[in-house]
Chain A
Amino acid sequence: MRLFNLLLPVVMLLGIAAHAQSPTKYGVGRTPSAEEITAWDIAIAPTGDELPAGSGTADLGAQLFLEKGCAGCHGTNGTDGLAPRLVKRDVGILENPWGYGRILPIRSPYATTVWDYINRGMPLGAEGTLSPDEVYSITAYLLYLNDVITDDQMVLNQDTLPKIKMPNQDNWAQVPDWFPNQPRLQDYPF
C-alpha cells in the first residue's frame, strides 16, 4: 500500500499521457470527470470510505422521521405502518440478535448499510432528496430505536458511523471464494 502510494503520482502522469491516444483497446466510451464519479458514487463500504462530510443525532432524527414522511409509511414508531417494520420485535434481549428479525437497523452487520440504503432508497417516492446531515440523523434515530446506540445526542459522522458495533457484526456467514467449475459446496454431493 505504501509503495503503491509512492508510485501513484507516476502512474497518474503516465495515465494522463496515455489518455491522449486512448488507453483502451477499443477506444469506445469517454472518461468521466471526477465530479461525475463523485455524483454517481453512492455505494458506501463497510469501512465508510465514501461517507460524505456531515453529522447528525438521533434526537434530530426523531423529528426528521416525521417531517420527511417516513412515519407515514413505516408508522409513527416505525412499527405499525404498511411499509416494513423498522424496529426489532419486542422479545427482550436475545443471545442471538438474529432472532430480532430481518430488520435492517438491527440485523445489518454494519451501520454503513443502513446509511447507504436510506440515502439511496428512502423516502420512497422522493429517494435521493435527503442531505447527508439528514441521513446521519435518521440513521442515528433508527439505531437508537433498536438500542444499538443508547445516547440520542451521540454525533454520527463519517468517523463515528463506521465504528458503531452492530450486534451482528461478527455473526454472519461469508460466501465461499468462488472459482469457475467448482461444486457449490465442498464435500456436498448435491
Chain B
Amino acid sequence: MGSKKQNRREFLKQGAAIAGGAAIGAASKSASAQLEGPERYIHGSDDMVAYGSRSRFVTSERIPHGGRHSPDTFGLDFHIATPLQDQYGVITPSSLFYMGTTRGSYLPDIDPEKHRLMIHGLVDNPLLFTMDELKRLPSVTRMHFVECAGNRANSRMTSVQETHGMTSNAEWTGVLLSTLLEEAGVKEGAEWIVAEGIEEVKGASSIPMTKAMDDCLLCYAMNGEPVRPQQGFPLRLLVPGFEGIFNVKWLRRIKVVDQYYMTYNDYGHLTQDPATAALGYQIGPKSVIVHPSGGMQLPGTGYYQVSGLAWSGGGKVDRVEVTTDGGQTWFDAEIRGEPQAMAHTLFAFDWEWDGSECELQSRCIDELGQVQPSRQEIGEFWNTPPGERIRVRGQDNSIQPWRIHADGSVHNAII
C-alpha cells in the first residue's frame, strides 16, 4: 500500500515537472475558455520549503533615519526607520521592525545556550538563569509598541517613514519582570532597577521599581518567533509606553538598587527642564494617518479609506478623530480591533475626496483623557510668542498634517 502511494506520488511529481515546463510560454492561447494561470512560478527549493520569503514584487525597505547612515564609519548601527506606509494592520513584520541604539551599536551574535540573565542587588535571592530556565517560568504574550525618542517630525521630511518610522509594534512573549523580582525577593529600599545589555557599551538604563513591578516584560519572542538580533536576541526588556532607550536589548543583567544610577543612557536622556524630562519619559497620546500620507498620489476623486495608527504610553487608545479640513471639524474614526494597552491601534475613516485641496489630520485620545495636540496647541500651552518656532518638548506627539493638492499628490504640511 505504501509503495503504491509512493509510486503515484512520484508519477505526479514528474508529470507536474513536464507540464510545468510546457505550460510556460505555451499558455497564451488556450483552447478552452478558462482563464490563464500565473505567468510564472517560483521555483521550489529546499530553502523555500524551510523558510519562506516575500514576493519579488514586494520591495518595501527600512531606511537609515535622522541623517546618520547605518552602519556608520565604525560599523555601528544607529537609527533605522520602518516603512509604515507599506504596513497593513498593527503588527510590524519583524524583518521591518524599526531599530534604535544609543549612539550606535554593534549587533551581538549571541549563542542562546551560553546566554545568562543575572538578577541581583537589593534582593534576598540573587538568581542566574539560562534561557531554557527563563522559558520554564510562567509567560505572557502581549502586544506592545516601542518608540524611539528620535521619532520627531519636521517640515523637511517627506514621507511617513521619515516622520513616524521610528516606532513599531509586535506581539511579544516572555516573563513578567515582576515574576522575576518576586522570585528574587526585593528588599526594603529598592526603588530602582538597572537593566543592562551585553553589547559593546553594555547599554544600561535606570527604571523605577513602580514600573518594573507593573508591566515590564523580559521577552524572548516576538511575532511568534525568537526575538531578532536587531531587537535583542535572545532576550530583551520591554518597558511598555516608555521611550525606546529603556527597552534594553541583549539583556544580561538586572540590578536592583536604591537610587537612580545615572548610567550613560540615563545621562544621554538628561535635560535641564523638568517638564521636558517628564514628557520624554512616558510617551504621550499619538497617531498618524498612514493612508494617504506624504509622497502618495491619489488617482482621482471619489472614495478613500483613510487609515492610520494610534498609540499612547499612558494606556489604551480610547478614541481617534480625523479632520479633512485642517482641523475645523473633527469626526470619530472607526477603531479596528480591540485596543490594547501601550499598543498600536488601527483606525479608519470613510472619505469622499471632491478633488479640492485639503488637509488631513488625526488625533488620539487615550484612556487617561490625554489628547494629542497640534503644534499650535503646544505653542499656546507654553506661551510661545507668535512667529517663534514651536518647540515640542520631550517626546514629539504632535498631530501630523498631510496636505492633499488638487492634483492628488500628498505632502507633509508641517510648517
Contacts and interface: CB of A to CB of B under 8 A. Distances in A.
Interface of A: 4, 11, 15, 19, 23-26, 28-32, 36-37, 40-47, 73, 82-84, 96, 98, 102, 104, 107-110, 112-113, 116-117, 120-121, 124-125, 127, 171-185, 188-190
Contacts of A42: 196, 202
* Range, interface on chain B: 35 or more
Of B73, B126, B252, most A-chain CB atoms within 10 Å: B126
A120 B262 contact: no
What is the predominant secondary structure among interface residues of chain A facing chain B?
Answer: loop
A19 B253 CA distance: 22
Given A117-B201, A178-B282, A173 B368 contact: no
Interface string B266-291: 01101111111111011111000000
B279 A188 contact: yes
A175 B372 CA distance: 21
B125 interface: yes
A98 B128 contact: no
Interface of B: 73-74, 103, 118, 120, 124-130, 133-134, 136-138, 182-185, 188, 194, 196, 200-202, 204, 208, 210-211, 214-215, 252-253, 255, 257, 259-264, 267-268, 270-279, 281-285, 313-315, 368-373, 377-378, 381, 394, 397
A190 B253 contact: no
9 contacts: A31-B125, A107-B267, A109-B267, A172-B272, A176-B274, A177-B210, A180-B214, A190-B284, A190-B370
B127 A30 contact: yes
Given A104-B267, A177-B208, A188 B275 contact: yes
Contacts of B261: 43-46
B257 to A, nearest CB: 7
Contacts of A174: 260, 274, 277
B276 A173 contact: yes
A96 B128 CA distance: 45
Contact of B204 (A43, A83, A180): A43
A113 B267 contact: yes
B279 A29 contact: no
Nearest to B273: A173
B120 A32 contact: yes
A109 B268 CA distance: 11
Contacts of A180: 210-211, 214-215
A36 B119 CA distance: 12
A40 B202 CA distance: 11
Contacts of B281: 175-176, 178, 184
Contacts of A102: 268
A82 B76 CA distance: 13
Given A28-B129, A30-B128, A173-B273, 9 more contacts: A44-B261, A120-B201, A125-B200, A172-B272, A176-B278, A181-B314, A184-B278, A184-B279, A190-B371
B73 A127 contact: no
A23 B192 CA distance: 23
A11 B177 CA distance: 25
Given A40-B118, A43-B263, A23 B124 contact: yes
Contact of B315 (A107, A172, A176, A181): A181
Nearest to A102: B268
Given A30-B127, A82-B73, A190-B371, A113 B262 contact: yes
A31 B267 contact: no
10 nearest CB pairs, A to B: A121-B201, A190-B373, A173-B277, A173-B274, A29-B127, A184-B282, A29-B129, A185-B278, A32-B128, A24-B183
A27 to B, nearest CB: 9
Of A15, A26, A28, A125, most B-chain CB atoms within 10 Å: A28
Given A23-B125, A124-B74, A172 B271 contact: yes
Given A179-B210, A190-B285, A124 B260 contact: no
B126 A26 contact: no
A113 B124 contact: no
Contacts of A40: 118, 120, 252-253
Given A183-B314, A188-B381, A28 B253 contact: no
Contacts of B377: 190
Contacts of A36: 118, 128
Contacts of B257: 43, 45
Nearest to A110: B262
Contact of A47 (B133, B259, B394): B259
Contacts of A84: 103
